[in-house]
Structure 1
């Protein structure tokens, strides 16, 4: 891929509405925090987005880039976008590089992925700070993690180990790294290894569930396999409701799991609803306005059947408090303010998917009494978007396009489709209240 400086373009959305004029930091934030990197979107391909992220990151202060990489990884639960931010930070240099790398890398394969992205235009020496950050991050991982993520590819974990000359914490880790270097790590006890070795599906999943060795995302992704293999329903149900490790699972994953294995939807719905119950209720009346235009039908990733509309609908269906829900495309339609899966279905079936008349939709909502407005959209409006009448108004962007609306005036702009955007709203209002 090329990472050239992009040309200046008119400040309009892809649908033609005037777009906000943003600083480099604002443009970087909107490109990063709603980005499953390398995945194409409705209007832009993944490589163009990656190119823009890298170029913008070189224009922004290093401390901001470091903080954004950490936020993208820890709060928005993204994996690849933070790594390309780290590459820009590495190019800039300075003492922020090592601690940012150490904190952002949370899975063992990210060690090799960072080096692979850093070498995307050809191999080059690793800086002292990059080596230091990778060395510190390497010590986080035990035998299970290293064996699980020591995957074949342009850069392997052993390659990283040889490049950085990391110092092990103790003799046990030193011995572990010798096995990694020699390629003699014991195979990890994962469902992939077991099934590829010919193990029985039902027995494998039953054992891993019983021993609590199956991660929550792996559980959700394998519900169809478990259903087809005849794994005990009560065991699967208990694992879904236990939500062990669910804090790293984005809300739309529950919807994907329910579509793949409909019989488990009641318990998936219950688990998703726990997300609502764990959050303090918003004060006053909230109107949620969800974009169901055609561009929101773009898939979240090449391997996913889910769309940005699914992600937006799921986020809308977990907002706590007194809520009225509307969808917009060429029309504005009110839907029942249902929670969980029922709320998602109500939004997705509310109207036909056509244009993006966000300006008309906000004008309509301005005529309805409310305390807070939350718009969830890709911001590619066909008409000019007015200022909201609500004192608390939020434009949540779920796409990574270059230009967008919903900045300035009384709008608070937020990027991402994690439930953490709701935490941001809550913290923002507490700050305003305490001021």
Structure 2
């Protein structure tokens, strides 16, 4: 008979010999760049969610909980970590950590309702509703603890229509208020009598003059950094003077805003690029430095030119550019290259000029990562690669310190042996490299 004693070979979507990962590595890889149920270039969102669900019981409970917390706190992901905890609740070996993990990863009131929607959804996606399962004791405990973290303003802001409402979470969990004041707030929530929050969404949906509303919110500093960036185009259309918008950008807190957020904002408000670039550089001020010589290699292939999610115009290439902009500022001595069919050296620019140089460096075509590494890598130097790893060719060991930064959720990737592998596109990636080399 034919032999069945064959080694299993894994390949990337473009055909290169891939690397076999442990279940824990696979889970991290699938999660850290995952916009839940959103399609990526090579895989649909349902397949990625199903893979996450399959991997959870294969990984130790403590490791799964730690990965979920990291995804929420370091990578700023909201929905995918909730799916992780939902899958933990299915398995006896993992249930004991559900309450503690759920309390920690829920950081906004609407995540309480989102979790229950996911709890009652099938792995096939949010529209594939199951018959509502009984909510486990650990889930009730975690949701009740998380509910108690939020004040009246936060609850009012996120008390939205939907299949699951905040008051439903209260009824299901039987949460106990900390004091009489919180008990009163919760009763107002149940009765629908919470005072409407003074947010730009409420003001604009109520028919207020948009120009006056935006100007008031700017003066009163009631627009957070992300809300400000997301509404730049709306402000301009409403007629808010450019000087006022520029002043708001100059005053906003930038310590929690990643460079790619400024890149995305500039796509909708290109005439504000100077102000956005200034704010972006402020967000990088004081960052620890990467000493020595660094070479950065950015994947500009066709798959990187696709949107991060169906609801976002931001591409994985924008995320990679944001990381490259940050790396350009914190590296002591740096050269930057792009690769697709060829390898191109990028001029030593900064900020948006560097983004433009990366994007326009060559056509967005194939992914010859192995060839690019051979051409760029140098012994004794640091090489950082930003890629989705779907290479046509094999990638050999780095000659020096090599970091493979994966910005997608695909099952198989490249980079064997001595590569240090990191998944996601948070600024924490570069912090990790600095800390790793200090050890």
Which TM-score tier does this pair reach, normalised by the shorter chain?
Answer: over 0.9
Superposition deviation, residue 247 in structure 1: 4.1
Aligned residue among 375, 393, 405 for 2:385: 375
Aligned equivalent of 1:416: 424
Aligned-partner Cα distance in 2 for 1:372–1:231: 46
Q: Is the 2:258–2:322 Cα contact (8 Å) retained in structure 1?
A: no
Aligned equivalent of 1:352: 363
Superposition deviation, residue 63 in structure 1: 0.5
Aligned residue among 228, 234, 241 for 2:250: 241
Counterpart secondary structure, 2:89: helix
Aligned equivalent of 1:169: 178
* 1:310 maps to 2:321: no
Counterpart secondary structure, 1:96: helix
Counterpart secondary structure, 1:91: coil
Superposition deviation, residue 37 in structure 1: 1.7
Counterpart secondary structure, 2:326: coil
Aligned equivalent of 1:362: 373
Aligned residue among 237, 250, 268 for 2:258: 250
Q: How many residues align?
A: 420
Aligned equivalent of 1:156: 165
Q: Is the 1:251–1:418 Cα contact (8 Å) retained in structure 2?
A: no
Alignment CA distance shift 1:10-1:182 (3 Å): farther
Aligned equivalent of 1:5: none
Deviations 1:350-401 (CA, angstroms, capped at 9, x unpaired): 00111000000001013x46620000000000001111111x2100000000
Alignment of 1:137-286 (within 5 A): 137-244=146-253, 246-286=254-294
Counterpart secondary structure, 2:337: strand
TM-score by length of 1: 0.93
Counterpart secondary structure, 1:188: coil
Deviations 1:306-334 (CA, angstroms, capped at 9, x unpaired): 21111111211111121100000010000
Counterpart secondary structure, 1:317: helix
Aligned equivalent of 1:334: 345
Aligned-partner Cα distance in 2 for 1:397–1:152: 37
Aligned equivalent of 1:301: 309
Q: Is the 1:77–1:250 Cα contact (8 Å) retained in structure 2?
A: no
Aligned equivalent of 2:40: 41
Superposition deviation, residue 180 in structure 1: 1.2
Cα-Cα RMSD: 1.6
Aligned-partner Cα distance in 2 for 1:349–1:401: 26
Deviations 1:185-236 (CA, angstroms, capped at 9, x unpaired): 2221111111111101111111111111111111000001111222233332
Q: Is the 1:317–1:338 Cα contact (8 Å) retained in structure 2?
A: no
Aligned equivalent of 1:21: 20
Superposition deviation, residue 253 in structure 1: 1.4
Superposition deviation, residue 270 in structure 1: 1.3
Aligned equivalent of 1:3: none
Aligned-partner Cα distance in 2 for 1:91–1:39: 23
Counterpart secondary structure, 1:47: helix
Aligned-partner Cα distance in 2 for 1:212–1:370: 49
Aligned equivalent of 1:388: 398
Q: Is the 1:318–1:339 Cα contact (8 Å) retained in structure 2?
A: no
Alignment of 1:6-85 (within 5 A): 11-85=10-84
Please list every run of 5 or more consecutive structure 1 residues that lacks an aligned counterpart in the other structure: 1-8
Deviates more, 1:105-114 or 1:269-278: 269-278
Q: Is the 2:17–2:394 Cα contact (8 Å) retained in structure 1?
A: yes
TM-score by length of 2: 0.93
Superposition deviation, residue 241 in structure 1: 2.6
Aligned equivalent of 1:100: 101
* 1:130 maps to 2:131: no
Aligned-partner Cα distance in 2 for 1:188–1:336: 48
Superposition deviation, residue 281 in structure 1: 1.5
Aligned-partner Cα distance in 2 for 1:415–1:152: 35
Counterpart secondary structure, 1:284: strand
Superposition deviation, residue 179 in structure 1: 1.4
Please list every run of 5 or more consecutive structure 2 residues that lacks an aligned counterpart in the other structure: 1-7, 123-129
Aligned equivalent of 2:90: 91
Alignment CA distance shift 1:24-1:375 (3 Å): same
Superposition deviation, residue 413 in structure 1: 0.2
Counterpart secondary structure, 1:418: coil
